[in-house]
Amino acid sequence: METGNCLSPKNKTLVGPTYRESIADPSVPEKTFVIEDYFGGNQYLDYPVVNVNWEMAKSYCDWRDAKLPTEAEWEKAARGSDGRIYPWGNNFSCGIGNHFNFIFTGNWFYINNNIPKDSGKAISWYMPSVCDQHYGTSPIGAYPRNISPFGAFDMSGNVWEWVSSLYSPYPYDEFDVEKDEKDGKRVFRGGSFLSFDSSARSVTRQSAVINYSAPDLGFRCAKDAP
């Protein structure tokens, strides 16, 4: 940013889940996890950047003389040669990485009685414990068991990660969908601190338009091996 090559994230605030700390006492108000000065706060220098769109992520990696990994490169780095379900193996366990571990209480509430329930509902979550110790993002490398066969940390959970590839149904021509000049949605992978175990799998794909950003979406840069 100081060199003028990259833009700041669209929002300097990190917003996490809204939850209740007690099921038994309905008078306990809901809380929303928020860090107001997430981007710019010195205590978060080791945390992943979020609230960046695809173009911002690509520009930063280009500036670092690196690149956004292709979808195929990202998945190979996460799954290894043995095709494991998660970077650490084939079984999910709370606490290996930074994932969503709240419980849905089934408590629906509505804006008012005149609005159909399906259009006015919101989800209430109960926080029984935080087995991964984080409501929001976590420092890079905070989970030593969350490491891929190739030594990459946090490829499951923490934040979703942009890749260079255009979104296209499998199977696709991997060289065709990597072209930066083509228009279309781009892929992000890996799940986040707001993701359940199904989204934490190494094969899970999501996509969005290139100007999309979110408080649980970041990126990592890659370089070709010598």
Q: How confident is the model at residue 23 (pLDDT cuts 50, 70, 90)?
A: low
Q: What global pTM score does this model have?
A: 0.86
3-state helix/strand/coil string of the chain = CCCCCCCCCCCCCEEEEEEECCCCCCCCCCEEEEECCCCCCHHHCCCCCCCCCHHHHHHHHHHCCCECCCHHHHHHHHHCCCCCCECCECCCCCCCCCCCCCEECCCCECCCCCCCHHHHCECCEECCCCCCCCCCCCCCCCCCCCECCCCCECCCCCCEEEEEEECCCCCCCCCHHHCCCCCCCEEEECCCCCCCCCCCCCCCEEEECCCCCCCCEEECCECCCC
Q: How confident is the model at residue 112 (pLDDT cuts 50, 70, 90)?
A: very low
Q: What tens digit of pLDDT does each residue of 114-171 get? A: 334 444 444 456 666 667 788 899 999 999 999 999 999 999 999 999 999 999 998 8
